[in-house]
Amino acid sequence: ENGDDDVTLKILYCGVCHSDLHTLRNDWGFSFYPVVPGHEISGVVTKVGKNVTKFNIGDRVGVGVLVGSCKTCECCEQDLENYCPRIIFTYNSYNPDGTKNYGGYSDMIVVDQRYVLRFPDNLPLDAGAPLLCAGITVYSPMKYYGMTEAGKHLGVAGLGGLGHVAVKIGKAFGLKVTVISSSPQKESEAINRLGADSFLVSNDPEKMKSAIGTMDYIIDTVSAVHPLLPLLSLLKVNGKLVTVGLPNKPLELPVFPLVMGRKLIGGSDVGGMKETQEMLDFCAKHNITADIELIRIEEINTAMERLAKSDVRYRFVIDVANSLSQ
């Protein structure tokens, strides 16, 4: 039921995040079945509570990775709800009253107004939906770690759902962007379609050697276990490597290149509500959307199988409304 502070959404589209697949397979060890995934939700408002002042019926809105937090801790007071110790995730999570949350692979959802986001008028609901996770996951660390200075050199490790958005946002900030990938067949796509300045094949020793010490920042979006040493070697002195992928096993941390180059390794997890809205507005201003494959809900199992093989360019999005209307 829609409470006094709640907004009810009719879900039109929902992105398929790699986290959905990890949760379904219990790769991280904390899945609570049954699970209904989906935290890249876009749609329209169909009902609002009496205390809701931010939204009206018919507004274009979205819901991302979180739907609740304590609202009173230091993180919440700093608009960092995503780091709240009592965060409530959009799915595979529990509300304070013990009820379970289910995500966007559905026709509707009810969410506290604080955790609902406004979609700018020129941002499409289908290709814009993945920005609610993939977009903010790369935007937030770029802002926090100062990876936005025009003319600096950004490396993007991995060209998937996160990486392709990182390329677009990096270019919008005026950065020189190099895609670092183990798939040489992606070079033309990265440069000619996504706008990257160059492409580096990560398993080509000669190419990697020639790029040592050339990058100011690297965003590592790779979700599989992989070595960090080759990436650290690409950084200049004072370079920053920020990991946003979530491998299901620990990565080995080589200390020598950190010490000898005064380099930094950091992490980042989506963003708070204020920053996520800022990201949506930024993407709308710069005409940034995700590259998507639109699917019907009955195709979701095949999509998951393809996602496990990284066979998607670059984000599946479920066409919820049309799946249900036919």
* CA of residue 106 relative to chain centroid, distance: 20
The average confidence (pLDDT) of the chain is 96
What sections of 217-272 are H helices per DSSP?
A: 229-234, 256-261
Look up residue 147 and give its two tokens: 């990876």
pLDDT for 313: 87
Q: At what angle do helices 273-285 and 134-144 cross, to 10 degrees?
A: 100
Q: How far apart are CA 277 and CA 31, in angstroms?
A: 28
Give the pLDDT confidence of 207-256 residue by residue, as tens digits: 999 999 999 999 999 988 999 999 999 999 999 999 999 888 899 999 99
Band the pLDDT of 43: cuts 50, 70, 90: very high
Half-sphere exposure of 151 (CA within 13 A, CB side): 0
pTM value is 0.95
Give the pLDDT confidence of 44-78 residue by residue, as tens digits: 999 999 999 999 999 999 999 999 999 999 999 99
Domains contained in the chain, CATH given: 6-133+291-319 (3.90.180.10), 135-267 (3.40.50.720)
Contact 32, 91 (CB under 8 A): no
Contact 48, 55 (CB under 8 A): yes
Q: How far apart are CA 314 and CA 167, in angstroms?
A: 12
* CA of residue 133 relative to chain centroid, distance: 3
Considering only the C-alpha atoms of the chain, give the largest distance between any 2 of them, rounded to a whole number of Å: 64
For residues 165-175, give the mean pLDDT: 98
